Structure 1
Amino acid sequence: MKKLFFPLITFPLLLLTACNNQATTSDHGAIDMEMKLKGDSTRYGLACDGCSDSIIVFLPNEGGDPIKFDIVTAMRNGMVYGTPKIGDELAILPNPIDPLEAVMVINLEQMKGTWTFQVLPKLKPNPTKTDEQIMAEMSDSMKKALFIPREYGFTLKSYNQASPVGYIMKANSLEDESPVEYPKVTVYTSWHIYNGRLYIYKDTVDEQGNRIPQDSVGFDSGSMRYLSNDSMAALFGKKVMQYHRKLNALEANKRAQEAERKAAIKDTTKK
């Protein structure tokens, strides 16, 4: 165990040392932290000491000495997403004409985490009543009990892994009898930056449990619009999705899960 423990502790230190030791002319070696897809012009690496509002000092994953990228135009165009700090993983899209100028910068370290948006249930179709009639017949307490917001979204993890947010553990079997229903939770399994765009890949198994071929796996792709410590926005199709950071998937739907638990207790008491 001691032989394994030592490299795990020293590896991050070696990366930061490589960033800080800019005077050396030796090859720092490859730091292959993220898998690069074929055809992707984005460069991946670490932010080093010396970054400012006009320059990013960047240690590329493929190895070599740190590179200074001019980000003046990217800053002016609002294409620097997140705030790079020493040791943060970055994705930089270089200018095809000037390889030392960054067209876009994304702080991958800040992107990692749980991001959610709020959803509300909708009334199920009723063959005999309109939505207006159903709502008019509901008491305020019933509406409050039924229309509980949930947080949907995803958790972006290291090594391009992702997981869905939005599932609630069913505490009883009455959900099918409820007059409302929530949107289906989209299952995400992985993510990538590809030429400056965010790709989030969906479930690799279909509803029958069969493996979906890799080239047939669905995905959502969007262009970044904003990124900070607690907020993120991306344009998917014609809609800008705004996300808020949560501690984790369980914490995101803590209120909804508690409501489900109380409903189950109430149902048990009635029986």
Structure 2
Amino acid sequence: MKKTVIFVMAAILAIGCGGSKKANFSEDLEAEEELDAYRDSTIYGFCTDKSTGDILQIITDAGDTLNINVANARENGDIKGGYNKGDEMAVVANGDSTIALLVINKTALLGNWVMPNPIDGSSETGISIRRSGSVEGIDQNAIIYKSWRIYNGKLQITSTREDGVDVDETFIYSIKRITPDSLVIQDAEETFEYSRQKEVVEEELGIELDNGDDDFMM
């Protein structure tokens, strides 16, 4: 009798363990799928002098040289800020990285961007986007800006409010337009239209203010 009981208990334990493994596998698969949605698929690199109107050649941060066709992106208005030799680029491409779906000129994003103060319109307010990934507010005393980046083709800006509660918030924007004089970004609720602050000294920002045309520049 004892042997029978032991055999039955072993069988139950074996079934239980098998079910646990199956459940864990399912949970792991779901977690992996969720992670895929948050992985950054953007290609980062620098534009080379071999680029043309339809081909953007970049040397990626990993050291690879890619020739990416941008004809469709240009036709769809999805080249944000143009490109020129030495510009830092962010590209969302197809699976084999040969066709661009979205091109963002990170260099063209750099600078001081302002708009009329939405409270009374008597002054200008805005953001200063720096090459180091840092960002500062312009006449925004209630907000402390911390960092910016391009992630999956979106502009992410992290900040916190100066209200005694040290909690970071990350805001995600679609980039609608970048030109030498304007930056238009959009979140789920609002569109923000900025103008470049003219009096900013180029050397302080490490950029050239004639950069960022939506047309190819060489």
Under a length normalisation based on structure 2, what TM-score does the superposition of the two structures give?
0.69
Residue ranges of structure 1 left out of the alignment (5+ in a row): 1-37, 123-147, 168-183, 251-271
Q: Does the 8 Å CA contact 2:143/2:162 hold for their aligned counterparts? A: no
Aligned to 1:54: 54
**Correspondence for 1:104 among 82, 85, 102:** 102
Q: Does the 8 Å CA contact 1:166/1:249 hold for their aligned counterparts? A: no
Q: Taking structure 1 as reference, are residues 249 and 229 closer, same or farther at Cα in structure 2, changes over 3 Å only? A: closer
Aligned to 2:155: 198
1:227 equivalent in alignment to 2:151: no
Q: Which has the larger radius of gyration?
A: 2
The separation in 2 between residues aligned to 1:49 and 1:85, in whole angstroms, is 8
Residue-by-residue CA offset, 1:37-92 (whole Å, 9 max, x unaligned): x711111110001222211010101113x210000111111000112110110001
The separation in 2 between residues aligned to 1:40 and 1:51, in whole angstroms, is 24
Aligned pair count? 164
CA-based RMSD: 2.2
Higher strand residue share: 2
1:242 equivalent in alignment to 2:193: yes
The alignment-based identity, stated in percent, is: 24
Residue ranges of structure 2 left out of the alignment (5+ in a row): 1-37, 202-218
Q: Taking structure 1 as reference, are residues 159 and 120 closer, same or farther at Cα in structure 2, changes over 3 Å only? A: closer
SS of 2:143's equivalent?
coil
Report the alpha carbon displacement of residue 118 of structure 1 after superposing the two structures with TM: 0.5
The separation in 1 between residues aligned to 2:63 and 2:149, in whole angstroms, is 21
Residue-by-residue CA offset, 1:152-211 (whole Å, 9 max, x unaligned): 1111111211000115xxxxxxxxxxxxxxxx75332110111000111112x7522x64
Q: Does the 8 Å CA contact 1:47/1:84 hold for their aligned counterparts? A: yes
Aligned to 2:89: 90
1:207 equivalent in alignment to 2:163: yes
Residue-by-residue CA offset, 1:20-41 (whole Å, 9 max, x unaligned): xxxxxxxxxxxxxxxxxx7111
The separation in 2 between residues aligned to 1:248 and 1:161, in whole angstroms, is 20
1:160 equivalent in alignment to 2:133: yes
> Displaced runs of 4+ in structure 1, greater than 3 A?
247-250
Under a length normalisation based on structure 1, what TM-score does the superposition of the two structures give?
0.56
The one-letter amino acid paired with 2:182 is S
